[in-house]
Structure 1
Amino acid sequence: MRDAGFLTEADFARAREEPLRPRGEATPFVAPHFTTRVLQWADDSSLAVSAVGADGSLRSSLDLALQTAIEAEVRHTVDVLHDRGVREAAAVVIDNPTGEILAWVGSPDFWADTAGQTDMVVSPRQPGSALKPFLYGRAFDRGYTPATVMADVARSYQTSIGLYRPRNYDHRYHGPVRIREALGSSYNVPAVEMAERLGASSVLDALHDAGFASLRQSADHYGLGIALGNGDVSLLELANAYRSLATGGVWHPVRWRPLAGPGDPGRSRRVMSARSAALILDILADPEARVPGFGISTPFDFGFPVAVKTGTSRHFTDNWAAAVAARFTVAVWVGNFDGRPMEGVSGITGAGPLLHRAVLEVAKRYPPGAFVTPREAGAVQVEICRLSGKRAGARCPRASEWFAPGTEPADSCDWHVDGKLVLPAPYTEWLAQSRAAGSGGVVTEAGEGLDDQAGRMLASQSGGAPQARDAQSHGFRILSPRDGDRYSVPPSVDPRYATIALLAAGASSRVRWTVDDRAVAVPRLPLVRGAHVIRAESAQGSDEVRIRVD
């Protein structure tokens, strides 16, 4: 270049004195979907000055080790479900106190043809039942309670495009169900009825308050189907909405940069009252409330407090699942970018296992903590009839339920009269259909003081101990833990929450549990190292299993 006249002698001398630096390896493109999105946000003129450091770098909130682990779980999920028509999955993790994004996986493989760069963390799709907690949160703020009984019976609603007949996922009607069971078991018919009572506009307002900005159409456009997630939302919106349940019912924006200090949490708005948020978390963390709809075995027993909800869109095109611990929120999606239906993959069998593994990965690094309880939020506890939701009488199957002060039931149950069950008029047709269906229509078990088989069905549905559908043929037995099981104490988990559920089938009366010959008041087993003998007894029999905790 000097000989050609492009360099002066001074420039040539300086160039000769400059040391040669070996070229290093290229910086890996980690967390590609998240990185791409952050660069878009940082290019925003309003962020440019504050986002870029003095050295020109951008520092994000992402936990790279956690990101790598979640990416592996997303790929594993697609590999396992490939034969059932599943090609894609996504996940996002948010730190609840700060709103910082800890992990963001938009697809299993960013480099897989053109579809790999589709980012399902921010691509709107229909969430199915995953929106129901915000419907019932609005209902609780309007005076409804977890004990409010909803009629899960056949009903049609007149809409602008004709009659709308909602159906449950299991294609059955369940008669009188309390909101606790309606939400925990994700029944569709009660949710639509609640949307009818509140009004579609009110439900849509609640969802907007929860941060679902993707719902841009009018309430008339969505109709009552908004209760069942017929509008498109993003996984990031869903995760941050569920995070609001853990922050006292208040929505805050997410952050992609770490907080330098306590600072300003940013703009916020109330989604629901703190007490209603505590009640929703209590229901979503209640495994017994899930049993009628999903059975005893689900991927949602973690050993520490976690509130969980799933959603499946029509025709099995999208699976969603969200989990809220006190410290963090995880949301996952499983499906196909092109909208092809999966082969019978539900939120329990598709997104559920991915959610379970992702939550455990996060819990290794961030202690889950404990929710604000309904009592701490100011709720009061009352003994109610499991079937009527009213104050329990002498012949009623009992349950303890939480109420906002002033919403406790004033009347005692009048459904159980002189040893017989007398249902209100709205359930007459449903009861007749249940009798005709026999045990094929409803889970059955022996009931006390009821006059016919249909009554016994009702006792099982809302009064008896949870049991598997084939419990009668196998007699009384322990379902969890199983004989010979081995457990390990999970790391980074408060010992108070390192527990497993004690579950039995085939009982129509109270089950008494002992562990190593010591009575257990709460049906959960703390994981204490060593060998243990668990025994369960009821009027229907007894069973015993042996386990080991390493």
Structure 2
Amino acid sequence: MRECTNAICRHALPRQQSWRIAFARIALCVVLLAEPLAAHALPTFDDVRTQWRSSDWLLLSRDGVPLQRTRIDKTERRGDWVALADVSPALREAIVVSEDKRFYEHSGVDWRGAAAAAWANLWNTRTRGASTVTMQLTGLLNDDRERSGQRSIAQKANQAVSALWLEHTWRKDQILEAYLNLVPFRGETIGLSALSITLFGKAPSGLDEREAAVAAALIRAPNAPYAKVSDRACRILRDMQAPERCVNLPAFVQLAFARPAPALLSVSPDAPTLAPHFARRVASETHPVAGARVTSTLDARLQRFASDTLTRTLVELDAPAHPRNVHDGAVVVLDNATGDVLAWVGSSGGLSGARDVDAVLARRQAGSTLKPFLYAQAIDERRLTTASLLDDAPLDLAAGGGLYIPQNYDKDFKGWVSVRTALGSSLNVPAVRTLVMVTPHRFAKTLTALGLPLEQSGDYYGYSLALGSADVTLLSLTNAYRALANGGLAAPTFDLPRRAPPAALAQQRVFSVDASYIITTVLSDNNARTRTFGFDSPLATRFFSAAKTGTSKDMRDNWTVGYTSRYTVGVWVGNADGQPMWDVSGVTGAAPIWAAIVGYLHRRVPSVAPRVPAGVVQTRVRFDGNVEPARNEWFVDGTQTQTVGLAANAISTGNATGIANMPRTSDKTAVSSSNAAPHIGSPTDGTLFALDPDIPAARQRIVFERASGSSGRANWRLDGKPLGRDERVLWLPWPGRHVLELVNADGSSADSVRFEVRGATAHQAAPPRAGKPGTARGHAASQPSPTPLTSTLQDSTTNGQKL
């Protein structure tokens, strides 16, 4: 303070004292006149806090846990409202020291500071503002966000009046809390939450003295260069009795200014973003506004567990010691009863080269995951039972301009197997044989009814549809398995809570309850998987579960989808860019993730097998020739049998042209070897054949064979015309009813059967001349055969969908 050495100084104190009194009187008159208007204009603290809107919208789990933030307002960055209790003590001290030293003493207006400022301005000795924190807050509440401190006397007076009223109605802690949330900082940043995360990468509760001083310094000069900000921050630190924190402060401020702003403002900036892809899906449906809080169906703990499990498994799969070139994955979990999406992990995050691609909605080849639906349809159509035998042997089908040759995953063939074994062990050739019966056209309609996004008709995919050549999404595939879990009823999924009860939801019956139950018994049967997966696989859980794996061509896609009594879980593993994985199959890639998630879901909740439907019966089945061990098997009532055997021609030839018969109680093909008379082994009496319109008519054949063990020489005769005398004849079929005979040397009929060939839409060639011999046996396996309607004649193949 100057010494009084002249006349002016001698008169300064009396003049200053009188000016202060005059200013106080004028202010008091203004307050008395204007306070009612100010009281009417300013909101309450609760109104301010309630109306605060973040620049982001927030996705919440079903129980209110924040999962994901997405920015909406591009003009300003505002975080969540921060309670004063969540602000570090250092920052509270820095704000008071720098902006309003007597904050806890005055009643809204610092009269001493105001008088000193007015006197200094009058004599132009020092220009400084006298606005208190409370006065600044009134300007923010009136949206007066001028960065300059220059205001008119009228504006100052209005702020003073408003501040007095605010102090009268708000508590000091409320005033400071609102000020810290509303004050502009650097650039587009508004409020302490946004500043703390963008500038320091931490929550406001974690700011230390140096960070607090820098934040307080920015209030006076938000866009000042780092040198000026560091100088002011150093003065604040001295006032806070922490001058030692000024060391290297310019470098610290420069580094903070250079920090790239995060894309999202999280409540906890160190926490991962749990559901970015799901949030994008919800935003496309709800179009949330800035500050919105949208409650979803996701379970926060399950979402985190699924994400962590996926990441951990992918890291293990692609370990440097044994790299397998697998970087991407996705998980979806559905509630069976409601269709609620409980978990949605769209990518592997930092492991992925395309982390923004939502693999839950990306279309990829389904692999063998479509097989359960194929067999369910065949059972519903009563073409097969799970005890029916299918030939897993090399096979080729004419398709398009070449041959379709299916292979099994292990490049091996198992011979005659039951449908239960074929599905449980994911054998490819039996599945293609089944599709020949069902037809690609009808099977594609079934898949579409399940909600799978097939873009082409079944004829476009052909027989490869049995092995999953169609592109599907993980969400649609998982929901299709949910239909099996719900007894054949397909229903939509939900990512937001819905008002309608589950019973009122749109449902479509795709499979019968009986077929769904029988397929479930196969998918939950660990014994049925042993030929391919062995006894110890991740699919063998301690509780009831039904699951299927799938791997597309060249190991580009790897799936495991399955269900328990309460949940359906789908997992995809692969590479977003379509690169093949190295030695990764459904049981080694996706299955461990699936098993970990269903284990987590049922760590405290039991999973019980479904009840047996009224239309399903269990029967003890014995297989002739010990093709498979005797067992108890489930049947749709009316299709059960106690003995399953092979047609005689299948036993004698053992090749891909054999017929896999429906279970039989008695038939003519199982002729005893003691029968010496010539006897027809194939076809059986009453067989109906259907010409396949997808195969050129000239390439289709029906096999005529003598029964095993029959003796004596006899010639073939078809419709009264000679056909040859070989043990096995391949006949070019012609639509119509036919009589096939074996005739003795004297011309008498030794055995005869009647069968029918039903025509296709394709144009037929002229009927072959009777008496022309059939093709030799060595060429028989390459000739496609028409599909019998009363038995399961299979000839079809593909190039390699696996498992």
Same fold, judged at TM 0.5 (above)? yes
Q: Note the 1:249-288 alignment, pairs <5 A.
A: 249-260=488-499, 262=501, 265-288=504-527
Encode CA deviations 1:369-403: one digit per residue, 9 max, x unaligned.
32323x3343111111245799xxxxx94111111
Q: C-alpha displacement at 1:266, in angstroms?
A: 2.3
- For the pair 1:197 / 2:434, whether they are aligned, the reply is no
Q: Note the 1:17-96 alignment, pairs <5 A.
A: 17=166, 19-22=178-181, 23-24=192-193, 25=203, 26-27=265-266, 29-43=273-287, 56-82=292-318, 83-96=323-336
Q: C-alpha displacement at 1:424, in angstroms?
A: 3.0
- For the pair 1:371 / 2:609, whether they are aligned, the reply is yes
Encode CA deviations 1:406-458: one digit per residue, 9 max, x unaligned.
1112x74566xxxxxxx7323544479xxxxxxxxxxxxxxxxxxxxxxxxxx
Cα separation, partners in 2 of 1:277 and 1:14, compared to 1, 3 Å: farther
Matching residue of 2:638: 406
3-state SS, counterpart of residue 365 of structure 2: coil
CA distance in 2: counterparts of 1:333 and 1:91, whole angstroms: 7
Matching residue of 2:425: 185
Unaligned residue ranges in structure 1 (runs of 5+) = 391-395, 416-422, 433-550
Encode CA deviations 1:320-346: one digit per residue, 9 max, x unaligned.
001200100111011111111111111
Matching residue of 2:386: 146
Contact 2:573 2:589 in 1 (8 A): yes
Cα separation, partners in 2 of 1:238 and 1:5, compared to 1, 3 Å: farther
Encode CA deviations 1:452-473: one digit per residue, 9 max, x unaligned.
xxxxxxxxxxxxxxxxxxxxxx
3-state SS, counterpart of residue 115 of structure 1: coil
Q: C-alpha displacement at 1:250, in angstroms?
A: 0.4
Of the structure 1 ranges 131-140 and 289-298, higher mean CA displacement relative to structure 2 is found in 289-298
Contact 1:153 1:427 in 2 (8 A): no
- For the pair 1:426 / 2:635, whether they are aligned, the reply is no
Matching residue of 2:739: none
CA distance in 1: counterparts of 2:460 and 2:563, whole angstroms: 30
Q: Note the 1:287-436 alignment, pairs <5 A.
A: 287-364=526-603, 367-373=605-611, 375-386=612-623, 397-409=629-641, 412-413=643-644, 424-430=648-654
Q: C-alpha displacement at 1:168, in angstroms?
A: 1.2
Contact 2:554 2:580 in 1 (8 A): yes
Letter in 2 for 1:405: D
Matching residue of 1:502: none
CA distance in 2: counterparts of 1:112 and 1:303, whole angstroms: 31
3-state SS, counterpart of residue 67 of structure 1: helix
Cα separation, partners in 2 of 1:103 and 1:383, compared to 1, 3 Å: same
Matching residue of 2:718: none
Matching residue of 2:374: 135
Contact 2:334 2:340 in 1 (8 A): yes
Cα separation, partners in 2 of 1:11 and 1:103, compared to 1, 3 Å: farther
CA distance in 2: counterparts of 1:103 and 1:145, whole angstroms: 36
Of the structure 1 ranges 349-358 and 113-122, higher mean CA displacement relative to structure 2 is found in 113-122
Q: C-alpha displacement at 1:11, in angstroms?
A: 6.8
CA distance in 1: counterparts of 2:371 and 2:423, whole angstroms: 7
Percent identity between the two aligned chains: 37
Cα separation, partners in 2 of 1:320 and 1:135, compared to 1, 3 Å: same
Letter in 1 for 2:278: F
Cα separation, partners in 2 of 1:216 and 1:400, compared to 1, 3 Å: same
Contact 1:70 1:361 in 2 (8 A): no
CA distance in 1: counterparts of 2:563 and 2:361, whole angstroms: 19
Letter in 2 for 1:383: R
Contact 1:177 1:387 in 2 (8 A): no
Q: C-alpha displacement at 1:62, in angstroms?
A: 0.4
Q: C-alpha displacement at 1:234, in angstroms?
A: 0.6
Letter in 2 for 1:204: A
Matching residue of 1:418: none
CA distance in 2: counterparts of 1:135 and 1:362, whole angstroms: 29
CA distance in 1: counterparts of 2:463 and 2:643, whole angstroms: 33
CA distance in 2: counterparts of 1:354 and 1:145, whole angstroms: 32
Cα separation, partners in 2 of 1:166 and 1:385, compared to 1, 3 Å: same
Contact 1:252 1:265 in 2 (8 A): no
Cα separation, partners in 2 of 1:59 and 1:288, compared to 1, 3 Å: same
Contact 2:623 2:643 in 1 (8 A): no
Q: C-alpha displacement at 1:27, in angstroms?
A: 2.8
The total of aligned residue pairs comes to 407
Cα separation, partners in 2 of 1:307 and 1:6, compared to 1, 3 Å: farther
Query: Out of 89, 100, 111, which is 2:340 matched to?
Result: 100
Contact 2:616 2:637 in 1 (8 A): yes
Contact 1:125 1:232 in 2 (8 A): yes
Root-mean-square deviation (Å):
2.8
Matching residue of 1:246: 485
Cα separation, partners in 2 of 1:74 and 1:12, compared to 1, 3 Å: same
Q: C-alpha displacement at 1:276, in angstroms?
A: 0.7
Contact 2:327 2:351 in 1 (8 A): no
CA distance in 1: counterparts of 2:508 and 2:374, whole angstroms: 17
Cα separation, partners in 2 of 1:159 and 1:68, compared to 1, 3 Å: same
Letter in 2 for 1:21: L
Matching residue of 2:407: 167
Q: C-alpha displacement at 1:129, in angstroms?
A: 0.2
Q: C-alpha displacement at 1:349, in angstroms?
A: 0.9
Contact 2:393 2:655 in 1 (8 A): no
Contact 1:325 1:368 in 2 (8 A): no
3-state SS, counterpart of residue 357 of structure 1: helix
3-state SS, counterpart of residue 294 of structure 2: coil
CA distance in 2: counterparts of 1:27 and 1:414, whole angstroms: 66
Letter in 2 for 1:426: A
Unaligned residue ranges in structure 2 (runs of 5+) = 1-145, 167-174, 182-191, 194-202, 204-264, 268-272, 657-803
3-state SS, counterpart of residue 117 of structure 1: coil
Q: C-alpha displacement at 1:364, in angstroms?
A: 2.8
Cα separation, partners in 2 of 1:404 and 1:414, compared to 1, 3 Å: closer
Contact 1:147 1:179 in 2 (8 A): yes
Encode CA deviations 1:5-41: one digit per residue, 9 max, x unaligned.
7995687458754641343344354311111211112
Cα separation, partners in 2 of 1:57 and 1:349, compared to 1, 3 Å: same
- For the pair 1:123 / 2:362, whether they are aligned, the reply is yes
Of the structure 1 ranges 3-12 and 239-248, higher mean CA displacement relative to structure 2 is found in 3-12
Contact 2:336 2:567 in 1 (8 A): yes
3-state SS, counterpart of residue 58 of structure 1: strand
Q: C-alpha displacement at 1:86, in angstroms?
A: 1.1
Contact 2:538 2:591 in 1 (8 A): yes
Q: C-alpha displacement at 1:352, in angstroms?
A: 1.2
3-state SS, counterpart of residue 93 of structure 1: strand
Q: C-alpha displacement at 1:68, in angstroms?
A: 0.5
Contact 1:135 1:227 in 2 (8 A): yes
